[in-house]
Structure 1
Amino acid sequence: MKSKNLAILVFAGLMSFCSCDDFFELKRPQETQWTTTATYEQGLSSAYFNIQWSDAGRGFAQYIDFLTSGTASLMDGNTPGLDGEKYFYRSFEEKLGRMTTIWRTYYNVITKCNLALDVDRDGNGNPFNLDMRSDDYIHNYTRQVAEYHFCRAFSYFSLIRIFAPPYNHNGENNQKAIPLKTSAAYSKEDVYNEELGTIEAIYDLIISDLKYAKENLPDQFTLNSWNNVAGYECGRANKWVATSLLGKVYFLMGKYAEAKAEFDAVIDYAEATGTYKLEAPKDPFNKEKAQDVPKESIWEFNSGFLDGKYEKHNQYMYCGMVMGLRFRDSNGDELESLPGNNEGTVISSWNGFGIAYTALKEMGWMVDPMNGNYEVTPAAENDLRYQQVYHLMLPYKEGIKKGDPEYITTESLAGHAMVKTPHVYIDKFFRGAAPYGKFSKFPFIRLADIYLLRAWLRWNSNDLQGAADDLNIVWNRANPQNQDIYTASNVNHDVIYQEYLREMTGEGWTVDFMMGTQMTIPAGDSKLNSQVAPPYSSWYWSIPDDEVNLNDKYQ
């Protein structure tokens, strides 16, 4: 179903019983299902579900970023699932089923948001006739409207980064890109009249929505009445989620002053209140309960469960099994080889990717792996990030069983039998406590990322000491025995990029950092890939055939 059809979601159940012309002439149209804030929540819950728990979510953004960024290495003899080779080799011309799913899912979210925002507009900001001094209006309704703006912005930001050329810092962005919808379709004329938005227009809407969201969302949720459940807010946007994402949008666009203003606001709030702060590098990755929120995480993937109670759902960081060390059956934070199937660490047999040797060399964590020297450096061994959220595995050795000490140090799975050299894996998935490690949460946005982005912005504006200060905040957390190594005299793009790789690899923002800073995207380890320089004009995936064939605006 193409995106235009999704725009008439509220009437979808009736479409099979009548012609298109008859459908829009029904004398008894369906009444809105939204009559209270509790029912208004239904569309919002559906939007978040699609963003996080559908097959457009569940770690796919992190997966495609890691594989395309030149920081991943395809393991010898391995054929990874989820079209991994297509992404690794940047086969942008391929028509991939997952891309069709992403297209449909995010336009589904946009439609839900437009329907909800139309209700707000048509009801003059109070469609349910609430007492505007009541908790229900102040803490529920106004927040919900702002969250709908946020979800629409996030959906368009996801779509425009996948299906259109990247924003050109030094050129025109007036080419038609993807459908731009700011209201739902209520007639066939509405559907036929939908237009493609330019890249500039799509980004303008994203910025407008995020500005509305940050100005109308609370610092932290005030739970009351029907939503007064511990963990309700997990995975949802507050003021600082919206502010952080707005800064990231500006950063990607090259609007550096605007980006810095947003990051300044986030960091000032974090430092003044202590709501967000840096703790151990592993802490954002080892929580499985919705209400157990790590201090560093500004926005999380909510695969946890409310109030610490097990819920029968199967929504977890699925892509983590293909890009990370552990399988979904792992339980427990620390690496532990125990004989039981669901006990301790379970190494993923689905994993097809380690960290590229070129990236490890750039990070300063291997001596010269591209030329056969796989020695791990003292800098790596002393870095808490290397110790806690990455893991070295030695070449394949036959006969190792789960429960043997070597199980967590040496490749032993049949799928890795061709792996003849050491590899470093991402270890940021499935680290929660037994028996719910599968439901471990994952940070979408965290404070260390904001410090590093601001460090680059400060360096770029010649605030060298400010850049060094921000870098040292992140570095010192991971290197308590060797602090404050950055100074105004040694800070530059390269050291910030290296710090970004050490901190953020596998978390979904590496390509955005590269494009935002206008650096050349590396080829990585593969000789079949090439470096890609700005403006990265061919870096996007094909719009699904169904949409192109059925939407005459593409003709």
Structure 2
Amino acid sequence: MKKIFVILFIFGTIFTSCTKVITNQTPQNDIEASRLNDPASIRAALLGAYSASLSGNYMGLRYFIFADMYADNITHVGTFPSFAQIFNKSITPDNVEITNMWTQIYAGINRCNTVIAAATANTATTFTDKNQVIAEAKVLRAYHYFNLLRYWGGNENGYNQGPDVNGKSWGVPLRINPTLTGSDAAPIARSSEDDVWKQILADLDPTQVIANLAVTNSANSSYNWRIDQKAANALLSRVALYRGDWANAEAKATAVISVTGQSLLSNYASLYGNIGPKQEVIWTLPYDPTNQNSVAFFYFTTGYGGRNEISASTGLNNAHEIGDLRKGVNYTTAASAAIAPPAKTLKYTRVSTGDDFIPQIRLAEIYLIRAEARAQQGNLIGAASDLNVVRNRAGLPNTLAVTQSDLLTAILNERRVELAHEGHRFFDLRRYKQLGIIGINTSDPNSAFKCRFPIPLQEILNSGSIMVQNPGY
């Protein structure tokens, strides 16, 4: 594993000079791109593209904990004013957390663009995995744009819902070429939400992209950190769910569930720590003591080497049914050598080493995606069956929900407890049109605007006002 991290670190630094500005980055990437003149350097640069997600400004901490903290699974108990703004839904456009997260995602996109351009242009006969390299970079790019839309796009009714009450369709700036020249780096306006979705779907095209991926990536001998067909189909299933494309969400979920060797682990707690069990974890972000994340550090108290910035919420605790075996993992206040008040999760406990893996997609989520898609299409028996697979692993009996409405409510709650502390809750409430649960009144313009995060102020200023701010900020 250490070898993987060394490679990720070395080739992640190839791109670091390109992250100084936000989406309209200065054309410093030409030097880096010129290094990518042979298959080996392009393959290495692909690993650098993967490393963008590891940052604490992205999936290494902030992106996924903010989705639970802006909702009702995590409480802010620390002293960071920038975190307090997010928790209290009083975000200003100059919030440093929002700015850094946006910037890091676009840095990841630019890395993908650079790899795609270099690989496409390379004609070496020894580049036998060229199409696979391009496909992996495209899936990563789709993942980044999808993550941008989740926070900064869509409208008060969710995603892929058409124009909002003002007739606007809110997307994000769409860049699909590396910033090699001045014209490449020139400020651009936001694309429509629909256009961003089209790019995401193009980058996840089953025949043009996913078919070029390895069925099982050879790098995934110990855990699934490289994208293969299973991971791409899982992401496509999630994308289809957000778009309300129930048939495709079900079909792609079924494709993933049907892969030989896939099943839920019997013990929920064994999914977490410095591991990524291949049996259930479809795609994970791996860390080690040299290349750390600070997730556990933010949950744990100073007495245990942590910062005590965030805490599991009492609402999350109360969302668990009696007998739910996940409760002690998702919410605990027990005092011991490993854990201490206030409430925290035991999904991330490695404070001193910082090497908790961060799962991106798990098989349990795929079952819940298929359950929701089936319920939306009227296949209530199939939906209940998928829901029960997840419930039964948690020590719970089969669901009592029978009607479509009750099943969808049960699935939403199941997603809350099964995927707690993994960055889904706020987005699920948006999709379900249930933002009122967290105090956002989508019928009141003075509140509805909080369904999206603000575009960073520096992005607006850098663009010369070409970039339009989200309403309300």
Cα separation, 1, equivalents of 2:431 and 2:248: 13
2:152–2:172 Cα contact (<8 Å) kept: yes
Deviation at 1:321, TM superposition (A): 2.7
The residue type paired with residue 145 of structure 1 is I
1:296 paired to 2:276:
no
The residue type paired with residue 180 of structure 1 is L
Deviation at 1:172, TM superposition (A): 2.2
1:69–1:521 Cα contact (<8 Å) kept: no
1:281 equivalent among 263, 268, 287:
268
- CA gap 1:230/1:202 in 2 versus in 1, 3 angstroms: same
Tell me the residue number matched to 1:11.
30
Deviation at 1:537, TM superposition (A): 4.8
Tell me the residue number matched to 2:312.
355
Deviation at 1:246, TM superposition (A): 1.5
Tell me the residue number matched to 1:453.
369
Tell me the residue number matched to 1:179.
173
Cα separation, 1, equivalents of 2:309 and 2:183: 48
Deviation at 1:294, TM superposition (A): 4.1
Deviation at 1:540, TM superposition (A): 2.0
Tell me the residue number matched to 1:55.
57
Deviation at 1:461, TM superposition (A): 1.9
Deviation at 1:193, TM superposition (A): 7.3
2:413 equivalent among 491, 498, 501:
498
Cα separation, 2, equivalents of 1:510 and 1:537: 18
Cα separation, 2, equivalents of 1:37 and 1:116: 11
- CA gap 1:279/1:53 in 2 versus in 1, 3 angstroms: farther
2:124 equivalent among 122, 128, 146:
128
The residue type paired with residue 283 of structure 1 is S
SS in 1 for 2:191: strand
Percent identity over the alignment is 20
Deviates more, 1:536-545 or 1:201-210: 536-545
1:114–1:183 Cα contact (<8 Å) kept: yes
Deviation at 1:80, TM superposition (A): 4.0
Tell me the residue number matched to 2:234.
244
Tell me the residue number matched to 2:6.
none
1:511 paired to 2:426:
yes
Q: Which runs of 5+ in 2 are unaligned?
A: 1-19, 469-473
Tell me the residue number matched to 2:7.
none
- CA gap 1:547/1:58 in 2 versus in 1, 3 angstroms: same
1:393 equivalent among 313, 316, 333:
333
Deviation at 1:280, TM superposition (A): 1.1
Any idea what the Cα deviations from partners look like across 1:456-495, whole Å, max 9, x if unmatched? 222222211111111111111111xx54344646952222
Cα separation, 1, equivalents of 2:88 and 2:109: 31
With the length of structure 1 as denominator, give the TM-score of the two structures: 0.71
SS in 1 for 2:149: helix
Any idea what the Cα deviations from partners look like across 1:439-468, whole Å, max 9, x if unmatched? 121211101111112212222222111111
- CA gap 1:483/1:148 in 2 versus in 1, 3 angstroms: same
Q: Which has the greater radius of gyration?
A: 1
Alignment of 1:69-468 (within 5 A): 69-74=71-76, 78-81=77-80, 83-123=82-122, 127-130=123-126, 137=128, 140-166=129-155, 168-172=159-163, 175=169, 177-192=171-186, 194-211=188-205, 212-222=208-218, 231=222, 234-269=224-259, 273-288=260-275, 293-304=277-288, 313-316=290-293, 318-322=294-298, 324-325=299-300, 347=304, 349-364=306-321, 379=322, 382-387=323-328, 389-393=329-333, 411=341, 424-430=343-349, 438-468=354-384
1:113–1:151 Cα contact (<8 Å) kept: yes
- CA gap 1:483/1:348 in 2 versus in 1, 3 angstroms: farther
1:283–1:294 Cα contact (<8 Å) kept: no
- CA gap 1:534/1:359 in 2 versus in 1, 3 angstroms: farther
2:24–2:187 Cα contact (<8 Å) kept: no
SS in 2 for 1:445: strand
Deviation at 1:149, TM superposition (A): 0.3
SS in 2 for 1:86: helix
- CA gap 1:428/1:487 in 2 versus in 1, 3 angstroms: same
Q: How many residues matched?
A: 438
The residue type paired with residue 549 of structure 1 is L
- CA gap 1:154/1:282 in 2 versus in 1, 3 angstroms: same
Tell me the residue number matched to 2:66.
64
With the length of structure 2 as denominator, give the TM-score of the two structures: 0.82
Deviation at 1:50, TM superposition (A): 1.3
RMSD value over aligned CA atoms? 3.2
Any idea what the Cα deviations from partners look like across 1:286-328, whole Å, max 9, x if unmatched? 334xxx6342101111114xxxxxxx62422x13332x4588x
1:302–1:441 Cα contact (<8 Å) kept: yes
Tell me the residue number matched to 1:133.
none
